[in-house]
């Protein structure tokens, strides 16, 4: 360690590290889109903070294939006029926008995401509390200036989305209803009238739990075509009337408590109804006519009474929509096909009944005794038989997430089969083995019969791009990306171009464009370099770059992966005070062979200040299969610490740098929860605990997350009691200066009430603690000054007491 350094000295070191890591990380391109230009060039769009602190929309032009030379550096271009400011001085995101950024885990400022209508080149994006559109004409001579969509009501407009059938039309959600904006006429129309004043009904926007725990952030879906002149929007109507209301209090004078609807474990969830909008555009003024709001004649909740969550929705074709329904325990999922003809007008006048329609049909049903990991993979493969459906699908029935080609029969005739009757299903595995695929996205070349996907075949700590045939399944897949790196891959819609962003623990990110070619002889896909977007930065690697380790648990033999950051000035044979930076919960993988840049600033500053930093993915963490992840089922908090301690001791023996008499454990959210459990259950191992925003009782956390892993409280009372920090208040150390708690008062995820309950329990037990509150912060510390204060307070506590 570097001794008792002053707050100012540590702050200077923090600033230096922040600048260097920010320079390496913020310029890395992200959020790629592709567009083929008429002259044969391929334009690749992306976001980057290259020109400053806020994200900007940039692009590179990839030459036609005949003009490509190996590893040519592609010049960056900024799409917008340099005078355009995506962040206005004094502007602040609305409450609705702040909460959505929290749900999406989006950091940074400026343009954080955008939509592109590929054929027209029309963009839509939000920035600085405003919504903009702009069209990229490839023949233009200069940069373009975005057009702000006017707002006469001053309310935030969420999830603006371009109509795929007409890029002049945009839909968005404002104040709980869906609105339409026509960029040609600059007019807007309120399409739904669901939300009234302070009621708990809304249209087109998912509930808190759906966003936070199922990663569905949109609640309306444009129909892909409007060939009959009718535009259609499928949407979800959410009713939160019976969802518990909680209040977040601030210390600001005169401020009112913030009310949020938050269903705690065992309580009532929001309900969902699937509805449909139809309208036409008439005349040169493109007036909206024939606006019709439709609902299902028999609601999904009546057809599937076991349904609790509407987790995925989309258009199947012009006759059907598809949705995925999940039960309350999250152990059953049905993939359902719903005929558009079953939606009836809300204000239908009495008259002859509508013509009979095809029934609601279940394409696939999955059940498990662990939990179902909801995914985004559902790709329909066209067939010549109108009574047959073929699609690509992922599930983890083998214990690992793999890809399947599914074939089943449907009926397009009325009254042939009810929703409860399942057709015969044929599932052909396209991948297999003891490894998992990434379930966020696949890319399909129907012309060549190929499907591209990402996964971790050779090691769980790397991600690669693979390809296999879905027309002639062989069980084999070809790896396309370079071993020894972790890759993020992005393909164009035709699967002819590829962008990879790659890095490893010692190499900063780089970005490359490739052309994809299929060999007619071998059937293999070839990658031809088409240009470099970003070269790896040359930097002086610090001594505290993390080292990758693995170890096997002494009891079960399961392999765990870990990272160890050596302290600066590390001398072999000397042992150092150590900080275990823990997360340890489901859905997250911390230990990967990626460059640990700005997001891992805390680990770097600890190492720079002379601490050894250890990160361990224990059983229950992501990307290791259902048996490994399911180890925590019904017993969260009672098994993870044993894994962490076992691995810590093995790493101490192997590296020789860990002083086991001076170990602190710290983490945020689930990591804060395990920090508390570590100090309560193993005070002999952990001298200090520094939890941030910790869960202290699963009965206080939300339904979707908690019940997935712990079941309902009424069915697992022992598990809830054993997994509650509050149950161990008497076991916390009686010595002072061993526990420091951080929490934001406005935390809308793990409410400050958790920390209040913990403090009350510690006081009753006569146990010492220290508390640091951030009055204006939510679950993430977003203000730079708050983050800096947190890092320095953490360092001061460790320096003084570890």
Active site residues: 669, 747, 779
C-alpha to C-alpha distance for 233 and 222, rounded to whole angstroms = 5
Rounded to 5 degrees, what angle do the CA atoms 289, 294, 299 make? 175
Helix runs in 1-125, H state only: 7-25, 95-104
C-alpha to C-alpha distance for 578 and 665, rounded to whole angstroms = 9
Token output for 780: 């993430």
C-alpha to C-alpha distance for 657 and 663, rounded to whole angstroms = 12
Token output for 282: 């008439």
Token output for 223: 């129909």
C-alpha to C-alpha distance for 662 and 649, rounded to whole angstroms = 13
Indicate the DSSP class of residue 767: -
CA gyration radius for the chain? 27
Which of 218, 200, 315, 215 shows the shortest CA–CA distance to 261?
A: 200
Token output for 726: 């509050």
- For residue 740, CA distances in Å to 515, 645, 691, 756 come to 53, 21, 7, 14
Residues in contact with 186: Cβ distance below 8 Å, sequence separation at least 6, in sequence order: 150
Q: Which residue is it, tokens 């940074």?
A: 108
Within 10 Å of residue 105's Cβ, how many Cβ atoms?
Answer: 10
Contacts 24+ apart (CB under 8 A), 713-716: 713/265, 713/266, 714/266, 716/634
Token output for 76: 């960056």
C-alpha to C-alpha distance for 443 and 450, rounded to whole angstroms = 8
C-alpha to C-alpha distance for 760 and 756, rounded to whole angstroms = 6
Residue 653, classed as helix, strand or coil, is helix
Token output for 593: 């062979």
Residues in contact with 754: Cβ distance below 8 Å, sequence separation at least 6, in sequence order: 693, 694, 695, 696, 697, 700, 743
DSSP per position, 222-275? E-S--TTS-EEEEEEEEE-TTSPEEEE--SSTTPPPEEEE--BTTSPPPEEEEE
Angle between helices 784-801 and 7-25 (to 10 degrees): 130
C-alpha to C-alpha distance for 35 and 753, rounded to whole angstroms = 49
Residue 744 near residue 752, CB atoms below 8 Å: yes
| Strands of 307-315's sheet in order across | 307-315, 320-327, 332-339, 361-367
| Strands of 443-445's sheet in order across | 443-445, 450-455, 464-469, 478-479
Residues in contact with 725: Cβ distance below 8 Å, sequence separation at least 6, in sequence order: 637, 673, 676, 677, 680, 694, 695, 696, 697, 758
C-alpha to C-alpha distance for 662 and 684, rounded to whole angstroms = 10
Which of 307, 465, 312 shows the shortest CA–CA distance to 375?
A: 312
Residue 786 near residue 773, CB atoms below 8 Å: no
Sign (positive or negative) of CA dihedral 775, 778, 783, 788 = positive
């Amino acid at each position: 360690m570097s001794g008792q350094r002053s707050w100012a000295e540590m702050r200077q070191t923090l600033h230096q590290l922040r600048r260097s890591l920010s320079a390496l990380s913020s310029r890395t391109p992200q959020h790629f889109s592709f567009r083929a230009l008429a002259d044969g060039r391929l334009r690749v769009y992306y976001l980057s903070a290259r020109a400053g602190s806020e994200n900007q929309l940039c692009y590179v032009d990839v030459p036609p294939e005949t003009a490509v030379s190996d590893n040519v550096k592609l010049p960056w271009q900024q799409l917008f006029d340099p005078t355009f400011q995506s962040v206005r001085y004094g502007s602040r995101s609305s409450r609705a926008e702040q909460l959505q950024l929290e749900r999406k885990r989006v950091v940074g400022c400026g343009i954080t995401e955008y939509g592109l209508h590929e054929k027209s080149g029309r963009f839509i994006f939000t920035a600085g509390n405003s919504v903009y559109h702009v069209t990229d004409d490839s023949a233009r001579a200069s940069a373009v200036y975005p057009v702000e969509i006017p707002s006469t009501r001053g309310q935030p407009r969420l999830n603006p989305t371009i109509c795929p059938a007409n890029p002049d039309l945009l839909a968005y959600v404002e104040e709980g209803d869906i609105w339409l904006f026509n960029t040609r006429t600059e007019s807007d129309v309120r399409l739904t009238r669901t939300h009234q004043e302070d009621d708990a009904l809304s249209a087109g926007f998912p509930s808190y739990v759906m966003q936070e725990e199922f990663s569905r952030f949109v609640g309306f879906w444009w129909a892909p075509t409007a060939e009959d002149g009718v535009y259609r929007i499928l949407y979800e109507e959410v009713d939160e009337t019976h969802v518990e209301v909680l209040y977040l209090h601030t210390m600001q004078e005169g401020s009112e408590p913030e009310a949020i609807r938050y269903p705690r474990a065992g309580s009532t969830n929001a309900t969902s109804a699937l509805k449909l909008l139809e309208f036409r555009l008439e005349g040169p003024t493109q007036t909206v006519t024939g606006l019709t709001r439709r609902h299902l004649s028999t609601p999904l909740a009546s057809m599937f009474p076991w349904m609790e969550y509407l987790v995925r929705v989309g258009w199947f074709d012009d006759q059907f929509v598809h949705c995925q329904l999940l039960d309350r325990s999250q152990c059953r999922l049905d993939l359902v096909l719903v005929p558009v003809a079953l939606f009836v007008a809300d204000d239908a006048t009495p008259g002859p009944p509508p013509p009979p329609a095809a029934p609601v049909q279940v394409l696939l049903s999955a059940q498990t005794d662990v939990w179902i990991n909801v995914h985004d993979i559902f790709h329909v493969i066209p067939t010549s038989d109108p009574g047959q459906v073929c699609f690509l699908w992922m599930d983890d029935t083998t214990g690992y997430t793999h890809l399947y080609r599914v074939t089943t029969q449907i009926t397009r005739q009325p009254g042939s089969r009810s929703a409860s009757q399942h057709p015969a299903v044929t599932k052909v595995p396209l991948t297999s083995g003891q490894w998992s695929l990434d379930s966020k996205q696949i890319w399909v070349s129907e012309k060549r019969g190929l499907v591209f996907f990402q996964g971790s075949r050779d090691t769980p700590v790397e991600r690669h791009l693979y390809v296999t045939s879905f027309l002639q399944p062989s069980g084999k897949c070809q790896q396309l990306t370079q071993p020894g790196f972790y890759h993020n891959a992005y393909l164009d819609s035709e699967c002819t171009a590829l962008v990879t962003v790659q890095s490893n623990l010692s190499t900063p990110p780089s970005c490359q464009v490739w052309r994809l070619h299929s060999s007619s002889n071998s059937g293999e896909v070839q990658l031809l370099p088409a240009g470099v977007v970003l070269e790896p930065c040359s930097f002086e690697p610090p001594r505290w770059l993390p080292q990758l380790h693995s170890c096997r648990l002494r009891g079960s033999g399961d392999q765990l992966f870990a990272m160890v950051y050596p302290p600066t000035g590390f001398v072999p044979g000397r042992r150092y005070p150590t900080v275990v930076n823990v997360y340890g919960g489901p859905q997250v993988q911390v230990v990967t062979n990626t460059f640990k840049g700005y997001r891992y600033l805390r680990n770097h500053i600890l190492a720079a200040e002379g601490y050894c930093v250890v990160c361990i993915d224990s059983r229950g963490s992501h990307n290791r299969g259902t048996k490994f992840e399911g180890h925590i089922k019904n017993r969260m908090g009672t098994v993870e610490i044993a894994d962490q301690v076992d691995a810590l001791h093995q790493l101490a023996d192997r590296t020789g740098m860990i002083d086991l008499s001076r170990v602190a454990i710290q983490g945020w959210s689930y990591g804060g929860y395990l920090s508390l459990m570590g100090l309560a259950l193993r005070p002999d191992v952990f001298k200090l605990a520094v939890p941030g925003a910790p869960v202290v009782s699963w009965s206080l956390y939300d339904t979707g997350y908690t019940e997935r892993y712990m079941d309902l409280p009424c069915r697992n009372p022992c598990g809830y009691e054993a997994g509650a920090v509050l149950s161990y208040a008497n076991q916390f150390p009686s010595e002072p200066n061993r526990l420091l708690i951080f929490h934001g008062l406005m935390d809308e995820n793990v409410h400050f009430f958790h920390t209040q309950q913990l403090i009350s329990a510690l006081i009753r037990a006569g146990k010492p603690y220290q508390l640091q509150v951030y009055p204006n912060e939510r679950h993430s510390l977003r203000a730079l000054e708050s983050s800096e204060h947190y890092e320095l307070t953490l360092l001061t506590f460790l320096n003084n007491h570890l």
